Every structure is written in structure tokens, then in C-alpha cells.
A and B are shown apart, each in its own frame.
Chain A
Amino acid sequence: MKNLFPHKNSAGRARTIGDNLLVKSPRQQARTNMTSNQQWTLKLGGLKLALITLLFITHAAQADSWYANTSASLTQGSYSGSVLRKQLSETGLIVGADYLEQGGVALGLSKTQISMKGSTSTNQNNLLLSGKLHYWLDAIPGKVTLRVDAHRITNNDTSGDTNNVSALAPQVSWLSNDAMLYADLGFAASRYQNQLTANQFTPTIGFALNNGSDWVQLRAYLISGLNPARAANRTSTQALDAKLTHFFASQSALVPSSVTLSVAGGDRLYAVDMDAQSVANLSDIHKSAASLAFAWNVTKASHLLVVLGQSRFQNVTLNNNYKLNVGYASFSTNW
């Protein structure tokens, strides 16, 4: 759950409900302009990049100053009221390495499958490459982190609308030395085929309550630059996420180390989740969401995260409002 609890050392990552929900556009728009050779080159490039990064991380983890971590995740979702989709499943793996407290890199690969009504399914590969650097300020005592995430999504969407998606998401964040105050500003530039781009700003504040026992995080999603023909007649959307986390002091392995209640309201389209480090390449409007996340420290170095939640969507073209009930589990370990 990257940066979900930025003042705590949380190795797992949670996906926001409704991330990476692939849909075939009802409008069969012009096919991609890319030739199959170009697509293959891109896939090969992504694979090469992934292998090089993995080798680097594996090598880095052998050195004393490097700290490696891995996180494996599984998502299962069921659609309710959707005229297009039935079920969602996703498996993912993120491998990362941090150099002391100075910075780090991470590589994530996940596979999404959505069973459509009519026995077809869409299959999607999500690639993430992330890098970060930490700086410490004396003037405003705290840690500043510069992070850049690069996303690449490929799938078998024949319309091409949700295929070959690229997103670049830089973020600057600040966490006070006493870990009681947090702020970040994220930006994401997403590029889709068939004349669609999305520019997203995500100003965020977080603060501790009750002497650090509770944590509140508020994040706005301000998305603009949309092509109305591809974005439910919208040129922009606004949404707000609110998360309340309570940390438990119990040392029992059965008691969660934290519980997080998340709620989201407002409309968002083609959002990039800066915590889950994922891209929602769905053309339907994400209307709202609520979830509960339970985190356990299984061992000193291993963490389990379970999220249960529901998201509501609207397909404007089909006038279809539907829900997604989802369960997510991830197991992460530091080594």
C-alpha cells in the first residue's frame, strides 16, 4: 500500500477499487494506427526493460546498502448490474529495491482478465516502472520524495481504445520529521489511442490524529484535457478520496496492525491512482467507492493486506449504472 499510510512503514500495495477495469468500447472506433510490428517492438521493449530492471534489483539486493521487497497480489471482482461485464480477476507482482533511505526503484507486472457477458474476455498486461529519490529539508523539517511512475498497458481490445496506454506520473511529497503531517502533489499525463489524452493533478494532504494512532488522508483528483467524444461527453472531472486509518498497538498476529476506511466521491475518468500505482483505463465514469482495508504484520518482514470494497460506475453511452464488488489481497515481504 504505497504511501497509503505514508507515515508508517507499509510495504504492501492496495489497489483502489475499480482500477484497471478494461472495457471494450461500444463504439467501434478507428483501429489503432500502429502496425503489428510496432506493437511487437513495444512489447519487446517493455519486456527488455522489465528484465533489466529485475536483474538490477536482484543484483542490488545482494549489497548491504540495498533493501529489496516483493509484493504479490490477487484481486477478484464481481460486477452487478453491468450489461457488458461479469467478473474481474487480476494477479500482480511488484519487485522493488531501496538504497538505504536515499531512493529506490520498483518494477511491477500484473495481468488482468475481465469476463464479458457473451463468453468473451479481455486480457490485459500492466507494466509499472517506478523510481524515487528522497531529500531531507532542514528549513521545513521533513523528507521530500520525488517519485516518477511510468505505466504501460496492453490488451486485446479490438477497438484499440484502451490498448497501448502510456502514463507518466511524477509526484513530489513531503512528510514531516515527526510523521504527523504529509502533503503531496501528483501529476499524471496519460496517452491513449484514438485521440484521447488525460492530464491529472492530485493534491493531497494527510495528518495524524490521537498522537499518531489515527491517520487521515484527503486527495483530490482533478482530471482535464479529455476528448468529450471519448470521455462520456466530458472535458474534465473532479473527485475526492478520503481515507481514515486506525493503527492498533496490539502485538498479536491475529489483530490487524491497521484498518483503513476509504470513501470516494465525485466523477473520475481515466484516473491514475498514485497510491496503488495503477491506471484506470476504463471509459466509464467512476462515480463512487467505499472500501475497508485490513493490514497484518505477519512477521517482522512480511505483511498481509486484505481489502473489501464496492465501486459504482456509469456507462453513459449505454445508460448503464453498475457496481463492482471486489476483494483484494496482497502479501509483501522485505528481504
Chain B
Amino acid sequence: MKSTLTALFASLLLFATTANAQQDPWQLSYQFETAGKYADAVSALDAISANSADAELKSLRRGWLFYLQGNYNDAIREYRLASERNSRSIDARLGVTLPLLAQKRWREAEQNASAALELSPNNYTGLLRLAIALEGQRNWAAMEKAGMALVTSYPSDASAYVYLARAQAWLNNRTAAVTTYRAVLSRYPGHLEAIAYIEQK
């Protein structure tokens, strides 16, 4: 009898804990995201008031979740809303570059990445997104500068060297590009792009 009561109590406690957890919109949203249910992850945030202290986070998260769903216009709107709430938000500036890059709006992505870098100079993500936006515009000289800044601040990062090497290759500076691609291989052995370029005659 005692063991039955204990089991019943434990079940009730578990149920109460689960029910309580399900009522937390953040946790629900994260759970849905993990399960790949992005639309449900957005809906879970509906309970959070637009005037609450979490409103900024809600916009950032909605922006991210809309981006994951491919709803780029909605994502841009949410990230811009977050920027309006907090003009010094690096998260919002970097966040909006994702849907902008997906839509190939290179100039707008460049502008937002640059704005993030003004707030946080040499920010890794900011420099990387800037390099991608410049690559889209085929602005190789500026892309090389961004690549240089990346490898200077993040010398162990292979991606930083990849973007620098690409810019040097497009600038017809093969000697520099080969050296940089070799640096990629030191950090990422077997990197296909680096091998292909170095073996090119």
C-alpha cells in the first residue's frame, strides 16, 4: 500500500512538473525548435506580451524561427523590430543579415554587418557576414580587407582563411591565394576548395 501511494505521488509530481514546463512558452518554443517544428515554436511565443521585458528577445527569436522556415520577409521584419527596440543590439544587426543574405540582398546585408561591426569591431560573425555580402557584390578588394581582419583576429579559424583566399584568387593574386589556401589546409586538412585551387595549373 505504501509503495502504491509512493508511486502515485511520484506520478502526480511528474505530471505537475511536465504541465508546469509546458506552460513556459520559452521552453516549449525551444522544444519545438529542437523537433524541427518551427511554426509551432513561433506559436509558443504568442503568450509573451509585446510590452513585456522579454519582448526584445521574442522579436529576436521570432526572427530566427521565421528564417529557419524560409519566411525571410517575416524574419527581416522581426529583426528590424528588435533593432528599433534596442538600437545597440548586435544580435539584431547580425540576425537580419541571415534572411538578407538568403534573398541575395547583398548591399543591405553589408550595411547591417557593418553596423554590427561599428558596435563590436572585429566581431567574428560580423566580419564573416560582411565577407559573404561583399563576395555577393563581387567586391573582391573589400572582401580581401574583411578576410584580413578575420585571419588577424581569428588566426585558428579555417573559414577566415577561406574567405581571404577566395578574395585573393579573384584579385588574380595567385601566389597569395595559394599561401592562404595552404593555411586553410593546416587548419582543415582535406579542405576540397583549397586542394582544388592549389592543384590548379
- Show the binding face of A for B, using Cβ within 8 Å: 9, 64-65, 67, 100-102, 136-138, 141, 143, 177, 179, 251, 300
Contact = CB atoms under 8 A, between A and B. Distances in A.
A251 B172 contact: yes
Contacts of B72: 136, 138
B106 interface: yes
Contact of A138 (B71, B104, B108): B71
Given A300-B139, A300-B141, A101 B172 contact: no
A136 B103 contact: yes
Contacts of B108: 100-102
Contacts of A100: 105, 107-108, 111
B138 to A, nearest CB: 7
A300 B105 contact: no
B70 interface: yes
Interface of B: 70-74, 102-108, 111, 137-141, 170, 172
B130 to A, nearest CB: 14
Contact of B103 (A67, A177, A251): A177
A39 to B, nearest CB: 42
Contacts of B71: 138
Contact of A141 (B70, B105, B137): B70
> Shortest 7 CB-CB distances between A and B: which pairs?
A101-B105, A100-B107, A136-B103, A100-B108, A138-B71, A101-B107, A138-B73
Most buried by B among A136, A143, A177: A136
B88 to A, nearest CB: 19
A136 B101 CA distance: 12
Contacts of A141: 70
Contacts of B138: 9, 300
B82 to A, nearest CB: 19
Given A65-B111, A100-B111, A300-B139, A136 B105 contact: yes
Between B73, B107, B141, the greatest number of chain A beta carbons within 10 A of the residue's beta carbon is seen for B107
B174 to A, nearest CB: 11
Chain A contact surface mostly = loop
Contacts of B102: 177
A228 to B, nearest CB: 47
A98 to B, nearest CB: 8
A100 B72 CA distance: 17
B194 to A, nearest CB: 19
Contacts of A136: 72-73, 103, 105
Contacts of A143: 103-104
Contacts of B170: 251
Nearest to B100: A101
Nearest to B73: A138
A329 B128 CA distance: 39
Contacts of A64: 111
Nearest to B137: A9
Contacts of A177: 102-104
A97 to B, nearest CB: 13
Contacts of A67: 107
14 contacts: A65-B107, A100-B108, A101-B105, A101-B106, A101-B108, A136-B73, A136-B103, A138-B70, A138-B73, A138-B74, A141-B70, A177-B102, A300-B138, A300-B139
Nearest to A64: B111
Given A136-B72, A141-B70, 9 more contacts: A100-B105, A101-B105, A136-B73, A136-B103, A137-B73, A138-B73, A179-B104, A251-B170, A300-B140
A138 B144 CA distance: 32
B99 to A, nearest CB: 9
A285 to B, nearest CB: 41
Q: Which of B103, B105, B139 has the most A CB atoms < 10 Å from its CB?
A: B103
A100 B105 CA distance: 8
A6 to B, nearest CB: 13
A179 B70 CA distance: 17
A64 B111 CA distance: 9
Contacts of A65: 107, 111
A53 B106 CA distance: 26
Nearest to B139: A300
A300 B107 CA distance: 16
A57 B138 CA distance: 24
A179 B138 CA distance: 15
Nearest to A9: B138
